[in-house]
Amino acid sequence: MKKMKKNVLFLLVIPVVLLTVNCCRREAQIECLKLSQSTLALIIDSTATLTAKILPEDAANCELLWKSYNEQVATVDNGKVTAKGVGMVEIDVSTKDGKYSTTCMVTVTHSLPIEPELVFVEGGTFLMGGFEEYVDPSELPQHSVTLSSFKIGKYEVTQKEWVAIMGDNPSLLQSNNYPVYGVSYNDIQKFLILLNNATGKNYRLPTEAQWEFAARGGNKSMGYIYSGSNNPNDVAWFWGNTHSQPNPVGKKAPNELGIYDMSGNVFEWTNDEYRDYTGNAQMDPSACASTESMNIVVRGGSCFLDKMFHGNKHYSRVTNRQITKPAFENNEELGFRLCLDE
């Protein structure tokens, strides 16, 4: 009889112990670590708080470690992010054992981005290349190009828009509503990274074909030599009417699509490396440039070339192509406008 009682007690104890062990394991199991935001836009000297959450919610408490991978841009203390300088920083939060972690990309600018006003350009087919008296060999042969719809800046990027992101102003003549100029292709890539991370969009420079199609007036084109007119004085600031003096954006007449200053004022960077035209028909062509490219196409003419170059007006025609190096900044000529895929 004594032996039987001992066995019964043993059997009763074992299930209780197993149940306790299983409970502990369930409470300690972490499935993932989440942050309240995956991206964050701040201005210098501002703060924001990131909240970390362990899943499942009934998992055991675990100490979290916070890390900034670029403390010159922003620091982090238990989720409180403090912006210090313009740029991008990755904020990391991880469990103490290092098994689980997640990150937030923080973009710091001088002030909140001013998003450009864009004009919708419906896709279509056009003949790209030179077609009038002052045609240059680089503009030939004419060739058929078909483009998908896109959006492009109604105006050239202004100094106010540039300063909001970058904090500095490279332009010689400085005023908020003037186009920013004296910016290199490489400078613009830094601007785009900050702008896109702050807005969550994918702004870029237009391709050369997109630029020309928009300048011609898209599907509403009247076949003008300049963007919106055969008379450059109507639509363009060039040496003959402004003598190396840039002007505020949008003061001349727009083209058929309601876009301003695609002829004159400042040359505009495109996103394409220079290549000779062929006669082949093309669909959404792009010769995407890089910071190491030898020559990048700029378009639109400017107010700075003097009268020895025909008073600059012929450089402002919609087909004219000029080339320059990606690091070239020339404070007297180079600006840009933005593009966004539809």
Domains along the sequence of the chain with CATH: 32-109 (2.60.40.1080), 118-341 (3.90.1580.10)
- For residue 83, give every residue at least 6 positions away whose Cβ sits within 8 Å of its Cβ, in sequence order, or none: 42, 43, 44, 45, 46, 47, 73, 74, 106, 108
DSSP conformation class of 110: S
Q: What does the pLDDT read at residue 309?
A: 47
C-alpha–C-alpha distance, residues 283 and 115, integer Å: 29
Share in percent of the chain as helix, strand, coil (round to 5): 25, 25, 50
Beta strands (DSSP E) in the chain are 32-35, 39-43, 47-49, 52-55, 64-68, 74-77, 80-83, 87-95, 101-109, 118-121, 124-128, 143-147, 150-153, 267-273, 282-283, 296-299, 322-324, 334-335, 339-341
Instruction: Specify the pLDDT at position 275.
Output: 94
Query: How far apart, in whole angstroms, are the C-alpha atoms of residue 215 and residue 153?
Result: 11
- pLDDT on residue 225: 94
Name beta bridge partners: 341: 150
pLDDT at 2 over 70: no
Q: Where are the alpha helices (DSSP H) in 123-217?
A: 159-166, 185-199, 208-216
CA angle 88, 93, 99 (to 5 degrees): 130
Beta strands in 220-317 (DSSP E): 267-273, 282-283, 296-299
Distance between CA 223 and CA 65 in Å, rounded? 63
At 18 the pLDDT is 39
Confidence bin at 236 (pLDDT 50/70/90): very high
What is the dihedral angle through the alpha carbons of 37, 42, 46, 52, rounded to the nearest 10 degrees?
10
Q: What percent of the chain clears pLDDT 90, i.e. is strictly above it?
A: 72
**pLDDT-based confidence at residue 291 (cuts at 50, 70, 90):** confident
Indicate if the pLDDT at residue 259 is higher than 60.
yes
pLDDT tens for each residue of 215-228: 999 999 999 999 99
pLDDT (tens digit, 9 = 90+) per residue, 118-176? 999 999 999 999 977 778 899 999 999 999 999 999 999 999 999 999 999 999 999 99
Distances (CA, A) of 219 to 149, 211, 263, 282, 320: 11, 13, 18, 17, 20
Strand 87-95 relative to strand 80-83: parallel, antiparallel, unpaired?
unpaired
Q: Given this model, what pLDDT does residue 28 score?
A: 56
Structure tokens at 317: 């025609």
Residue 56's pLDDT band, with cuts at 50, 70 and 90, is: confident
Beta carbons within 8 Å of 296's beta carbon, 6+ residues apart: 185, 269, 270, 272, 273, 274, 289, 323, 324, 325, 326
Count of other CB atoms within 10 angstroms of residue 172 = 10
